[in-house]
Amino acid sequence: MLAFMVLQLPLAKAENWSGADEKAEEAIKQLSPDYEPWFSPVWEPPSGEIESLLFSVQAGIGAFVVGYVIGRHGAGKDARNA
Amino acid sequence: MHIMEGFLPPVWAVFWYAVSLVFVVYGALKSKRLIEENPKNKALLAVAGGFIFVLSSLKIPSPVTGSCSHPTGTGISTMLFGPAVTAFLSAIVLLYQALLLAHGGLTTLGANTASMGIVGPFAGWLVYRALKDRVSLKVNAFITAVVADWFTYVVTSLQLALAFPGTSMINSALTFMGIFALTQIPVAIVEGIFSALLIGYIAQIDRDVVKEGVVA
């Protein structure tokens, strides 16, 4: 699956792989050229690197919890069966 | 699918907040009750929430439109606990992303919770219930997750079309669906595979959960 995701990357130019969110932003600008966002994020990651870091932290938290619970319960089951 | 901060007119921001709040509060109370009823549910809630954290952090490239989008991870939670608890868990993840990543936003939190936490999972839940005794658990997890994920993006498209109808709401809806719903097709399938694998692990550990389902 990972291979599938990576292999398709050369098929398009690098700048094409933007987020769908950004495309939606462009669409909104076309549909309502006068619309101005009325609120800005309270805090934005100061750089793309830090944004990646925080995304990784999010994934890490989730993966740790899933792995921990499944690992612990699996181990508990093995101990009971032993 | 995050509607970005400030990109929903105030009327719609308030409207979606009102809709979501009902479900999120009910889901939070239900989560609390589930944990009190059976401590085992705490572990399952953690797994379901963790799964949403992981999957919604992955921006996956989609060959259909050449842009990136992320899965929602709500299928597992929907199968185990139903849409209300999923709304609660999704709201937590969306809050993290709004505050720390500037993805989505506080003004659009209600709308994003409605699509990712409520309507998408509800669609998935209906399919899950319909298929429950007809297909294997893994197949059901795959389909439930794909439906919950994909509907989330359909709802986002409709939310944006309601707020930005342009000259015709139908054209506007099609424009947004061309972006979100189309990008999402392969992403939803990837999510379905992940979900089927995870439910397989959960089933190995705890057969009862899977047979009975916590919500059942």
CATH number at residue B196: 1.10.1760.20
C-beta atoms of A20 and B96 within 8 A: no
What average pLDDT does the structure give for chain A?
79
CB-based contact (8 Å) between A50 and chain B? no
Give the burial class of B21: count Cβ atoms within 10 A of its Cβ; 0-12 exposed, 13-18 middle, 19 or more buried: middle
More confident residue, A8 or B53: B53
Residue B3 maps to a domain? no
| pTM (2 d.p.) | 0.91
C-beta atoms of A31 and B105 within 8 A: no
Residue B59 maps to a domain? yes
pLDDT at B47: 94
Q: How far is CA A14 from the centre of its chain?
A: 18
Residue B82 maps to a domain? yes
- The H or E element that residue A10 is part of is none
Identify any residues that bridge with B61 across adjacent strands, giving them in sequence order: B68
C-beta atoms of B50 and A69 within 8 A: yes
Q: Token match 């009862």: residue? A: B208
**pLDDT tier at A34 (50, 70, 90 boundaries)?**
confident
CB-based contact (8 Å) between A1 and chain B? yes
pLDDT at B216: 41
Residue B1 maps to a domain? no
CA distance B141 to B198: 9
Instruction: Answer yes or no: are the C-beta atoms of B144 and B69 closer than 8 Å.
Output: no
One digit per residue, the tens of pLDDT, for chain B of length 216 reads 689 999 999 999 999 999 999 999 999 999 999 999 988 899 999 999 999 999 999 888 888 887 889 999 999 999 999 999 999 999 999 999 999 998 999 999 999 999 999 999 999 999 999 998 899 999 999 999 999 999 999 999 999 999 999 889 999 999 999 999 999 999 999 999 999 999 998 888 877 666 655 554
Residue B106 maps to a domain? yes
pLDDT at A19: 81
**pLDDT tier at A77 (50, 70, 90 boundaries)?**
low
- Closest partner residue to B205 among A27, A40, A77, by Cβ? A77
Residue B2 maps to a domain? no
pLDDT at A81: 64
pLDDT at A22: 82
Complex ipTM value:
0.86
- Tell me the HSE value of B73 on the side-chain side, using a 13 A CA sphere: 27
Structure tokens at A72: 């612990």
**pLDDT tier at A6 (50, 70, 90 boundaries)?**
low
The residue segments making up the domain with residue B101 are: 10-211
Identify any residues that bridge with B68 across adjacent strands, giving them in sequence order: A19, B61
CA distance B206 to A34: 55
**pLDDT tier at A42 (50, 70, 90 boundaries)?**
confident
C-beta atoms of B57 and A23 within 8 A: no
pLDDT at A16: 64
Report the SS3 class of residue B164.
Answer: coil
pLDDT at A4: 57
Please report residues of A whose CB lies closer than 8 A to that of B160: 24, 27-28
Distance from CA of B108 to the nearest CA of A (A): 10
Share of chain A above pLDDT 90, in %: 20
Please report residues of B whose CB lies closer than 8 A to that of A9: 61
CA distance A36 to B85: 34
Chain A: residue nearest B40 by CA? A73
Please report residues of B whose CB lies closer than 8 A to that of A39: 5-6, 105-107
Structure tokens at B22: 């009902």
More confident residue, B178 or A73: B178
CB-based contact (8 Å) between B76 and chain A? no
Residue B216 maps to a domain? no
Please report residues of A whose CB lies closer than 8 A to that of B59: 19, 55
Residue A33 has pLDDT above 60, yes or no: yes
Number of folded domains that form chain B: 1
Instruction: Answer yes or no: are the C-beta atoms of B184 and B69 closer than 8 Å.
Output: yes
Chain B: residue nearest A29 by CA? B164
Chain A: residue nearest B199 by CA? A70
CA distance B199 to B7: 36
Residue B25 maps to a domain? yes
Distances (CA, A) of A13 to A17, B50, B70: 8, 33, 20
C-beta atoms of A55 and B204 within 8 A: no
